[in-house]
Structure 1
């Protein structure tokens, strides 16, 4: 995920070319984000139709993130050896197969297999665009481009709320996923025709790395100062939003407040909109504050507070419920700054592997929290098919503690804002 030479100046990219490129990379990320977050709205329907327990629902959702996470190190090597365009095209085919398999599944095992393929197929649609941006744009533009990419991708999260509920109510969830497979095909074709193939990245000495050198570079990533601290922060950060909007928010609204398919879709839609707006706001905050850590710590502690409030409050009036879902989306949108912080730790020839290693934490954290939360909810009695309020309160409270705990080592991470490896190395 680099330029050909760490010290070579980047030529300015015309505005129109930038808009077309960002729109193309954003479109395929939108589809992958939809696949990632699609369980939350349909979870009660899946549980009823396929007779799934809370633990099975949690496992079904989390296997996407496990597969996604497991693919990150191979992805990082492939990005630096073969280039982002090839990676995106191959992954599109895998994601299409997963969506079709999920739609046709007749058992829980086939649903899980479909989610695994969707996870592997979606593994590159943030990292590969970031590879493109890192190669073509200056470091001080990177966090803003990350914010735009994440903001556009959040449209996929948005589509996995009320629009998904609408589609399921008219066409059913199976036909909906067949249609999404078609959209992934179109997005993959768009990438094939629009994105320029930059070719493989080069090593620190300007030549292409061998596979052995690529693997050695991956080990070097793990030895980079502050990587462990950022990895822990990545474990907790994104998982908070997905825990609510991508999994338990829908069942929570149905079981505790009696919301139907459309109503819970609308509420999750509100949270997704809040995250989209906040992602664009968070993007440039590192430049305004001249720091990565200040906006990240602020967002993380705010997320822990918002989750703790609902854990303590229990059932609340509708106006406070809406405010809480808005807050969940808004305060957890600091991911672009955290990604930029991670990128700044690595020299150009290690950036691809570096941020994909950190992304293992991001997706591994979702797998961990969703799997554990399913087992936690299963510890409580089920009444008329509904999970207990105290079960949800405990899940929110545990996540709040998780985020707060991850903040502590992150406070001692190196704040490498403004570092340009092309200039400083």
Structure 2
């Protein structure tokens, strides 16, 4: 790996780390927000999901801008919106203002993942993308570790509003690092007009091949991120650790275990997919197999199989992000000029689903009365069972033989 590639990987990984940190920070903030604002489970789910709504809503225009102006310019500039959103979120006096701040955060980090994948596709060979993109995801996964035990400790010495302000400063610094540190080579402006660029996005959205790839992967990832960013801590506390002497501190530790396993899974499965590909096993098949294993682990957790909690949640974290391998499959299927829009369109699918799931999960849990600050175990299990069933249906379509599709190269 050259020094230019290392520099690119470092600055874009930092951007995605911050994106991931914002994604899950309400996991630690939730008890304090509930105490300060007296919000219901549905309100908490809606507040947290505003990040995903903003992120999803920005994906199509961001994808067009990435292909037109390049990942360095777009990612650095858009991240400044996230810094403003974090300031609003931390200073807000009511739920409405907090939702605005959370929405702006989602918009502001909307280019971090697609921009990183666009940049790696420009500077690395296609055969290395499974590993390189896995490293980007692993760096983001550090955010999943930080929102566990480290954030729990930080909240014991500083208020959540002060932490939100600190995140705003960190975000602005990361934007500057990307602007200054990312290489400018290959960042040429597209000659196609904006209308033609949007036509390319429409081509992707109407491609059967895209949806066949995106449905199972998008659903497994949206389930994982919806849970990890808000509801998994409550599940651990109310179901997995119910009846034990272990409390919120143990749940925070398991969240960090999950986040650490996510990092290892992204690096390990990315390398494994590359190794298997050299032996004739496609990334498509490897990704499908690991996603099926993720569904199996969810079923084991929901059924409360008597396995050590660290092993179960470690497996959940390691397998939860393996659908990311689909980005490499998409890079092989679609031409390079479409990759910014392909990546952001796929991310749009995932984050719209996360938004819907977080709201739906909060509403579903609200159907059972809370007792002593805990959600009903029956509600948690009902939610997990429904999500497992949805993923199982998507898995069937993923493995069905593909029909002949019109060529992706026809788009602009």
What TM-score comes out, normalization by structure 2 length?
Answer: 0.91
Aligned twin of 2:291: 300
The alpha carbon displacement at 1:415 in A equals: 12
Aligned twin of 2:221: 238
Matches within 5 A, 1:128-277: 128-197=115-184, 198-202=186-190, 208-256=191-239, 257=241, 260-277=247-264
Q: Quick check: 1:322 aligned with 2:322?
A: no
Matches within 5 A, 1:281-292: 281-290=268-277, 291-292=282-283
Name the CA distance, whole Å, in 1 between partners of 2:247 and 2:109. Answer: 29
The two structures, once aligned, show a CA RMSD in angstroms of 2.2
Is the Cα–Cα contact under 8 Å of residues 234 and 365 in structure 1 kept in the other structure? no
The alpha carbon displacement at 1:345 in A equals: 1.8
Name the CA distance, whole Å, in 2 between partners of 1:41 and 1:260. Answer: 14
Is the Cα–Cα contact under 8 Å of residues 70 and 188 in structure 2 kept in the other structure? yes
Is the Cα–Cα contact under 8 Å of residues 279 and 333 in structure 1 kept in the other structure? yes
Larger displacement relative to structure 2 (292-301 or 368-377): 292-301
The match for 2:303 among 291, 309, 312 is 312
Name the CA distance, whole Å, in 2 between partners of 1:27 and 1:415. Answer: 40
The number of residues matched between the two structures is 398
Q: For residue 291 of structure 2, give the secondary structure of its aligned residue in structure 1.
A: helix
Is the Cα–Cα contact under 8 Å of residues 291 and 323 in structure 2 kept in the other structure? no
The match for 2:265 among 268, 275, 278 is 278
The alpha carbon displacement at 1:252 in A equals: 2.6
Name the CA distance, whole Å, in 1 between partners of 2:95 and 2:316. Answer: 30
The structure-2 alpha-carbon separation of the partners of 1:301 and 1:153, relative to structure 1 and needing over 3 Å to count, comes to: same
The match for 2:18 among 28, 31, 37 is 31
Is the Cα–Cα contact under 8 Å of residues 218 and 323 in structure 2 kept in the other structure? no
What TM-score comes out, normalization by structure 1 length?
Answer: 0.88
Name the CA distance, whole Å, in 2 between partners of 1:260 and 1:415. Answer: 51
Aligned twin of 2:60: 73
Larger displacement relative to structure 2 (44-53 or 255-264): 255-264
Name the CA distance, whole Å, in 2 between partners of 1:297 and 1:29. Answer: 24
The structure-2 alpha-carbon separation of the partners of 1:48 and 1:254, relative to structure 1 and needing over 3 Å to count, comes to: farther
The alpha carbon displacement at 1:382 in A equals: 1.6
Name the CA distance, whole Å, in 2 between partners of 1:182 and 1:271. Answer: 27
Is the Cα–Cα contact under 8 Å of residues 365 and 379 in structure 2 kept in the other structure? yes
Name the CA distance, whole Å, in 2 between partners of 1:391 and 1:283. Answer: 35
Name the CA distance, whole Å, in 1 between partners of 2:93 and 2:379. Answer: 29
The structure-2 alpha-carbon separation of the partners of 1:49 and 1:301, relative to structure 1 and needing over 3 Å to count, comes to: same
Name the CA distance, whole Å, in 1 between partners of 2:390 and 2:275. Answer: 28
Give unpaired runs (5+ residues) of structure 1: 1-13, 203-207
Q: For residue 216 of structure 1, give the secondary structure of its aligned residue in structure 2.
A: helix
Name the CA distance, whole Å, in 1 between partners of 2:44 and 2:311. Answer: 26
Aligned twin of 1:368: 356
Q: Quick check: 1:123 aligned with 2:114?
A: no
Matches within 5 A, 1:351-390: 351-390=339-378
The structure-2 alpha-carbon separation of the partners of 1:139 and 1:413, relative to structure 1 and needing over 3 Å to count, comes to: farther
Aligned twin of 1:6: none
Is the Cα–Cα contact under 8 Å of residues 9 and 120 in structure 2 kept in the other structure? no
Aligned twin of 2:71: 84
Can you list the C-alpha shifts for 1:234-263, whole angstroms capped at 9, x where unaligned?
Answer: 431212322332111222334454755543
Q: For residue 158 of structure 2, give the secondary structure of its aligned residue in structure 1.
A: helix
Is the Cα–Cα contact under 8 Å of residues 303 and 400 in structure 1 kept in the other structure? no
Is the Cα–Cα contact under 8 Å of residues 217 and 324 in structure 2 kept in the other structure? no
The structure-2 alpha-carbon separation of the partners of 1:378 and 1:163, relative to structure 1 and needing over 3 Å to count, comes to: same
The alpha carbon displacement at 1:212 in A equals: 1.5
Aligned twin of 1:3: none
Can you list the C-alpha shifts for 1:285-316, whole angstroms capped at 9, x where unaligned?
Answer: 33322212222222221121122222222xx7
The structure-2 alpha-carbon separation of the partners of 1:415 and 1:121, relative to structure 1 and needing over 3 Å to count, comes to: farther
Aligned twin of 2:93: 106
Give unpaired runs (5+ residues) of structure 2: none
Can you list the C-alpha shifts for 1:105-146, whole angstroms capped at 9, x where unaligned?
Answer: 111111211110110011011111111111122111111110
Name the CA distance, whole Å, in 2 between partners of 1:412 and 1:87. Answer: 38
Larger displacement relative to structure 2 (293-302 or 90-99): 293-302
The structure-2 alpha-carbon separation of the partners of 1:201 and 1:347, relative to structure 1 and needing over 3 Å to count, comes to: farther
Is the Cα–Cα contact under 8 Å of residues 341 and 415 in structure 1 kept in the other structure? no
Aligned twin of 1:52: 39
Matches within 5 A, 1:11-22: 15-22=2-9
Is the Cα–Cα contact under 8 Å of residues 253 and 264 in structure 1 kept in the other structure? yes
Can you list the C-alpha shifts for 1:340-368, whole angstroms capped at 9, x where unaligned?
Answer: 11222211211111121111111112112
